[in-house]
Amino acid sequence: MTLKTSTVHSEPATSRLDPKETDIGSVFVSNYPPYSFWNEAARQKAFDTLAVPPAEENTLGLYLHIPFCRKRCKFCYFRVYTDRNASQIETYLDALAHEVELYSQQPAVAGRPLKFVYFGGGTPSYISVKHLNKLVSRLKSAIPWEGSEEVTFECEPGTLSQSKVESLRENGMTRLSLGIENFNDFILQENGRAHLSKEIFQVLPWIKALDFDQLNIDLIAGMVGETWQTWKDNVKKTIEVNPDSVTIYQMELPYNTVYTRELQDGEGLHVADWQTKRDWHQYAFEELQSVGYALSSAYTMVRKEKECHFVYRDSVWRGTDMLGTGVAAFGHMQHVHLQNAPGWNDYLTPLQSDRLPVTRAFAVDKQERLVREMILQLKLGRIETKYFRDKFGVDITSAFSAGYSKLANEGMLTFDQHAIELTQQGLLRVDQLLPEFYAAQYRDARYT
C-alpha cells in the first residue's frame, strides 16, 4: 500500500468512527473475543487442551512477561512493579523459568520447536546481566530456541548499559524494540517516563555496533504536552536515528492509569483529540515514506532496503499457539485463550507447588477464530480473501458483507472478491473499525 502525499485534516465520518475527544477506555484491539468475557469457569478447558498432543499442525511461540520498571508511566495500564528489590526479582525470574519448564512437559508442547520468543514488559531490560544470563540459560534448557526465526527484547533506554546490550546479543536476541516514545525531555517527564533524551542517544551507538538483525523504535502520537512543532521534531530525530522499523501508537486512556484517575477526579488534563493524533500519525508516515520507508501495518513503517519481518506479530495475527508466561500474561493453545493470575502472590504460589498459574480462559469456536484472525490482520492494511477461504472455508466478503459495505460507504476501505484494503482514513483509525465485525454479544462491552 502506498500512502498519499498530503495529509487529510478533515473528513466525513460517523460519530462512532470519529469520536472527538480522547475518552476513558481501551481502543487498541489485541485479541478477540474481548478479555472481559474470559472466565475462571473455563480454566479447566485450558488444562485439558494442554494435556493432549496437538490435534492439528500449528506453529508455537513463547511470550515472557518481565513486569519491572523504574517508574510507572502515567498512561500505563500493564501489570508492572516499580518497588521490587533484587531478591524479589530473582524469585520472580526463577518462577518464570519454572513455568516454562512445566509447559515443556505438557503433551501439547513437548518436542515442538519455537517459531519466536518475545520478552515483553514492563521493562525486560530492567533486569541485571546476571539475572538475564541465568534466565536465558534455564529457558533454553527447557525449550531450545536456536531455530527460532525471531527473538525480540523490549528495552527502555535508561536501563541499558554497554555490557547489557552485549549480553543481549550474546544470548541470542535478534530484534530490539526500543521504547523511546518521545525525544522531548519535558514531554517524557510530564508523562512519567523514566528516561531522558540523553539516554536515548547514549545507547544507540552500542546497539548499532552489535548489528542486531532489527532495531525497532516506538513512538506515541498524542502524549500530554505534545504540539505540532514537538511532533515534527520527534519525526525528524527518528529519521536521523535511521532504525530498521518505526512503530507509532496513538495515545489512549485505558482504565486504571494515573491519567485516567486524574480525569475522574476532575483534574485539568489535555489529551490531544483523535483527529489531531491521526494527523500526527499520518505526518510521521508520510515523512518516513519520503526517506525510503514502506508501510508494514497501521502502526509500523520499515526500511525498504532491508527486509524486516515481524514474526511475533504475524504469527499471533494468524492464530499461532503461544505460551503466555509471567504474571497476568495471556496465551493461546489449540483454540483456547488462557491468562495467568494477575497478582504477584497468586502467580508465584501455584508454581511453588509445580502448578501452572492459569486463572481464566476462553474456548473459541471456529467462527470466533475466523473473526479474530480477520480483524487482527485488517491492521496490516490489506488482507487476501483466499487466505480465509483456504483456512476456514469462508468467503469473508460475503459472510461479512454488511460490515464491509458499511465501512466502504464511509470511506474506510475498498473490497472485491480478492482482497480488502483500508483507505488512508481507515488505516489511521483501524482499531475503531474492528468492533463492526464483533458478534452481537461482544459489542459495546468493556474490552478488558
pLDDT of amino acid 10: 30
From the list 235, 331, 315, 246, the residue with the least C-alpha distance to 283 is 235
Side chain identity, residue 271: V
Asked whether the beta carbons of 183 and 193 are under 8 A apart, the reply is no
Contacts of 101 (CB under 8 A, 6+ apart): 138, 142
User: What pLDDT score was predicted for residue 265?
Assistant: 84
The residue with cell 476462553 is 362
C-beta contacts of 3-6 below 8 A and 24+ residues apart: 3/282, 3/285, 3/286, 3/289, 3/295, 3/424, 4/286, 4/424, 5/286, 6/286
Whole-number pLDDT of residue 335 = 97
pLDDT digit of tens for each residue in the chain (448 aa)? 545 433 332 333 334 456 678 888 889 999 999 999 999 999 999 999 999 999 899 999 999 999 999 999 999 999 999 999 999 999 999 999 999 999 999 999 999 999 999 999 999 999 999 999 999 999 999 999 999 999 999 999 999 999 999 999 999 999 999 999 999 999 999 999 999 999 999 999 999 999 999 999 999 999 999 999 999 999 999 999 999 999 999 999 988 899 989 888 888 788 899 999 999 999 999 999 999 999 999 999 999 888 788 999 999 999 999 999 999 999 999 999 999 999 999 999 999 999 999 999 999 999 999 999 999 999 999 999 999 999 999 999 999 999 999 999 999 999 999 999 999 999 999 999 999 999 999 998 877 7
Q: Which three cell numbers stand for residue 151?
A: 527473538
**Sheet with strand 214-221: strands edge to edge:** 293-295, 300-303, 245-250, 214-221, 175-181, 150-155, 116-121, 60-66, 321-325, 330-333, 336-340, 358-363
Is the Cβ–Cβ distance between 233 and 213 less than 8 Å?
no
**Residue 306 pLDDT:** 83
Cβ neighbours around 51 below 10 Å, total:
10
Q: Are strands 358-363 and 336-340 parallel, antiparallel or unpaired?
A: antiparallel
Directed axis angle between helix 162-170 and helix 197-209, to 10°? 40
Rounded to whole angstroms, the Cα distance separating 287 from 105 reads 49
Neighbours of 167 (CB within 10 A): 17
**Local structure of residue 380 (DSSP, 8 states):** G
pTM of this prediction exceeds 0.85: yes
Q: How far apart are CA 282 and CA 221, in angstroms?
A: 10
Write down all domains in the chain, each with its CATH number in brackets: 1-21+365-448 (1.10.10.920), 35-315 (3.80.30.20)
Q: Where are the alpha helices (DSSP H) in 143-227?
A: 162-170, 185-190, 197-209
Instruction: Please give the pLDDT value at position 264.
Output: 87
Please report, for residues 416, 417, 430, the alpha-carbon distance to residue 404 in angstroms, rounded to integers and kept in the order given: 10, 12, 13
Spatial separation of the C-alpha atoms in residues 11 and 26, rounded to whole Å: 24
Q: Is 118 helix (H, G, I), strand (E, B) or coil?
A: strand
Helix (H, G, I), strand (E, B) or coil at 402: helix
Q: How far is Cα 63 from Cα 116, in angstroms, rounded to an integer?
A: 8
Residue type (1 letter), 173: M
Report the chain's terminal Cα–Cα distance, integer Å.
Answer: 32
Q: 366 burial class (0-12, 13-18, 19+ CB within 10 angstroms)?
A: exposed
pLDDT of residue 19: 67
d(CA 305, CA 270): 39
Q: Which sign does the torsion angle of CA 362, 364, 369, 370 carry?
A: negative
Give the other-Cβ count within 10 Å of 114's Cβ.
22
What's the rounded Cα separation, in Å, for the pair 250 and 414?
A: 24
Longest CA pairwise span in the chain (Å): 60
User: What's residue 432's pLDDT?
Assistant: 95
**Do residues 408 and 443 lie in contact, with contact meaning Cβ atoms separated by under 8 Å?**
no
Rounded to 5 degrees, what are φ and ψ at 171? -85, 5
